């Protein structure tokens, strides 16, 4: 799951400049952390 997200991020990164790629990766990590904390609170 996480590896798929990272692969998609790197594929998208080819279409974006470096700065946008870093911002996108940070956004993915924030969303992923948010979702995992939501799942953790549900369990």
pTM of the entire structure?
Answer: 0.44
Which pLDDT tens digits describe the chain residue by residue (43 residues)?
Answer: 566 776 676 676 676 666 666 777 888 888 898 988 888 888 7
How much is the pLDDT for 40? 83
Other CB atoms within 10 A of residue 12 CB: 14
Distance, CA of 23 to CA of 19 (rounded, Å): 6
3-state secondary structure at position 43? coil
CA angle 7, 11, 8 (to 5 degrees): 40
């Amino acid at each position: 799951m996480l590896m798929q997200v990272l692969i998609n991020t790197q594929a998208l990164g080819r279409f974006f400049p470096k700065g946008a790629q870093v911002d996108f990766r940070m956004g993915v990590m924030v969303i992923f952390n948010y979702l995992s904390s939501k799942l953790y609170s549900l369990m």
